[in-house]
Amino acid sequence: MQHRIIVIGAGYSGAIAAGRLAKRLHREDVAITLVNAEPDFVERVRMHQLATGQDLKARPFSEMFAGTGVELRLARVTGVDVDRRTVTVIDQGDGGGTEELDYDSLVYALGSAWNSRGVPGTAEHAHEIAGRPGALRLRERLAGLDAGQTVVVVGGGLTGLEAATEIAEARPDLDVALTARGELGDWLSPKGRDHVRKVFDKLGITVHEQAAVTAVEADHVTTADGTSVPAAVTVWTTGFAVHPIARATALEVTDTGQIVVDRTMRSVSHPDVYAIGDAAMAMGPGDKPLRMSCATGTPMAWQAADAIAARLTGGKTPNTPLRYFNQCISLGRREGLIQYVTADDRSVGAALTGRLAAVYKELICKGAAWGVANPLLGMPARPRRVVRERTPEGSPAEASA
């Protein structure tokens, strides 16, 4: 009987995990199902580009997984029962029927969405770019703006910097502003902060610092000190919130709803469940939680897939430390910032700026997408057979993953 592996969510981490498992394990021994609501891979790191009218390359999963043995199920996950080992889905096709899928091993990669942080008016009036639907809605809204109207980007993190500069560069006729809870780029090195300010000044972006937004209206946002900032469009980029399904299960989760995992991305409460990407709370160097990012989700996917394969085939379970090297920030299409960091993601003095940094970031984005379609990074596939153990009753069973 085949060992049934279900991967839910096909962002960077989920798609890589499914493809890598298919390369690591013999097709006759496993049935790998990838459940996702959309038929194409979404380059989440490029949503600010999509929102400003740029067209992105289509990356259909049907082509990406052709000949791999991975079965793509176009469906929306509505529930997970970790005690019964089932996933409930609603098909995205005609009829939209509900079905329960049984698994032996589950890879949970449902990721995250935007986080309104409970600020009044955000859900009703703000736009988000955490996914393709939101980016396309913002794209349509921006296209309808007249010259001189104001766009306010709320949030001074990586996504906020990229969104503000991309919009300002693509639409120089608009007044673009950014509100930050702290100082602009306050986590960056002095060189990095100076470069961000230089680019913001060049693009004419107004910066409101120490300005936490406490309310969003149709035509303005209000900051904690009572200041009203005009906004024909508000773009909300204050972080991400994980999918709520995990919290509704018996899995051990954090206060934020992330699944608590060990060094191999295995749930600490349910050993047949692995969690990767934004959905997981994994610890990095210095026992610091890994941040939500593509830079985190990709190595987590490698770790989980290799651990599952090793446990099923009787191999050595990998335990590779996860660490950071840099933060790559696009500042429009012609400027960028590569901030070098310590293993635990603290900025150091060195940084790459300007056009070269923009090229570097573009290569990173292309490389990340290539890595999804090439989960072994060009190394030859050597699928191994699943080890059959004996249960106490003497019947054959797969090694536990």
pLDDT (tens digit per residue) in 83-119? 999 999 999 877 778 999 999 999 999 999 999 999 9
Tell whether the model's pLDDT for residue 272 goes beyond 70.
yes
Cα–Cα dist 168/291, whole Å: 27
Tell whether the model's pLDDT for residue 390 goes beyond 70.
no
Tell whether the model's pLDDT for residue 397 goes beyond 60.
no
Tell whether the model's pLDDT for residue 391 goes beyond 70.
no
Task: Give the N- to C-terminal CA distance of the chain in Å, as an integer.
Answer: 15
Q: Are 21 and 32 in contact (CB under 8 A)?
A: yes
> 137 burial class (0-12, 13-18, 19+ CB within 10 angstroms)?
middle
Tell whether the model's pLDDT for residue 352 goes beyond 80.
yes
Residue 392 confidence class, pLDDT cut points 50, 70, 90: very low
Cα–Cα dist 373/65, whole Å: 8
The CA distances from residue 276 to 12, 48, 353, 366, in Å, are 10, 24, 31, 21
* 364-388 pLDDT tens trace: 999 999 999 999 998 888 899 999 6
Tell whether the model's pLDDT for residue 217 goes beyond 70.
yes
* 283-335 pLDDT tens trace: 998 889 999 898 999 999 999 999 999 999 999 998 878 999 999 999 999 99
- Give the 3-state secondary structure of residue 340: strand
Q: For tokens 């899928």, what's the residue?
A: 101
* 144-154 pLDDT tens trace: 999 999 999 99
Tell whether the model's pLDDT for residue 393 goes beyond 80.
no
Instruction: Identify the pLDDT of residue 394.
Output: 37
pTM confidence score: 0.94
Instruction: Identify the pLDDT of residue 320.
Output: 79
Q: Express as a percent the part of the chain with pLDDT over 70.
A: 97
Q: Are 224 and 385 in contact (CB under 8 A)?
A: no
Rounded CA Rg of the chain: 22
